[in-house]
Amino acid sequence: LGMLLKLGQRVAIKFEGASPVGKIIVESDNDGKVRGYVANPKADVATEGTIDLKAFFGEKGYMRVVKDLRLPKLYESVVPFVAGDMGQNLTHYLRQSEQIGSFATIGVKVDDENKVLTAGGLLLQIIPGAKYKEGAMEMLEARLQEMPPIEDMLLEGKTAEDILAELFQEDYYKILAVRPLVFDCPCSLERSKQAILALGRDEIMNILATEGKAEVDCHFCHKQFVVDQDALEELLFTFI
């Protein structure tokens, strides 16, 4: 989804529900930079070799999509889980909330210790206004459903290019760009100060009186930032 955005825009997907896992949050931009975290990574949830969202979050779990499009307000949409499979839920969101003809498949393979062996996904989407051979989307969707799960193909050593070639077969297609995915967390001391500023004057004064400093932990990369007494007092001046 991040690759579909414009420069400087970001998208976040939050999986939530009644679960010891708490919530799962993933973020991405259009340059292949991603980050994410699990609120309670040590939660004991059966996986049986793959990830089942309904097993994680219960029947009332839901997916929240938040987009920062550099507009005054964030775009936000919430859809309930329609299946345990991530791809089916993403497909449902794209078709219902964004009204875009889409089909997504996402797979994760984990070992007996719940360590990820491989993970990947594939998104088919109609470009608005483009001309297509009638039934092309349905044909590709049917082919994809007949192929082995994407996580199995990746585990066998197949590349993204191999999977595309198997999907399109003799049909013409062109790879426009290849972008590697990289973990990137833009957290910083300045962002930590802004987060503290959002707590309000009274809470900052309380931190000064009781702790004398504030410690901010990043959930994504686990970096810790310390905002000392001088910095907290400087933040108070913004309320004058």
Tell me the pLDDT tens digit for each residue of 4-39.
888 889 999 999 888 788 889 999 999 999 999 988
Tell me the pLDDT tens digit for each residue of 164-206. 999 999 888 889 888 889 999 999 999 999 999 999 999 999 9
Q: Would the pLDDT of 98 be above 60?
A: yes
pLDDT for 54 beyond 80: no
* pLDDT on residue 229: 93
Q: Which is nearest to 26 in space by CA: 51, 48, 46, 44?
A: 51
Reported as a pLDDT band with limits 50, 70 and 90, residue 77 is: very high
pLDDT over threshold 70, residue 50: no
pLDDT at 200: 92
> What is the percent of the chain with per-residue pLDDT over 70, rounded to a whole number?
97
- pLDDT score at 172: 85
| CA–CA separation, 131 and 163 (whole Å) | 24
Q: How far is the CA of 94 from the CAs of 67, 107, 125, 202, in angstroms?
A: 13, 18, 9, 42
DSSP annotation string for 5-65: SPTT-EEEEEEESSSTT-EEEEEEETTSEEEEEES-TT-----TTS--HHHHH-TT-EEEE
**pLDDT confidence of residue 179:** 87
Distance in angstroms (rounded) separating the CA atoms of residues 2 and 123: 12
Confidence of residue 48 (pLDDT cuts 50, 70, 90): low
Among residues of the chain, what percentage have pLDDT more than 90? Answer: 56
Model-wide pTM > 0.85: no
Q: Which residue has the higher pLDDT, 61 or 51?
A: 61
State yes or no: pLDDT of 133 exceeds 80.
Answer: no
- Give the least confident one: 6-15, 37-46, 133-142: 37-46
pLDDT of residue 123: 92
* Structure tokens, 11: 């998208």
d(CA 81, CA 175): 32
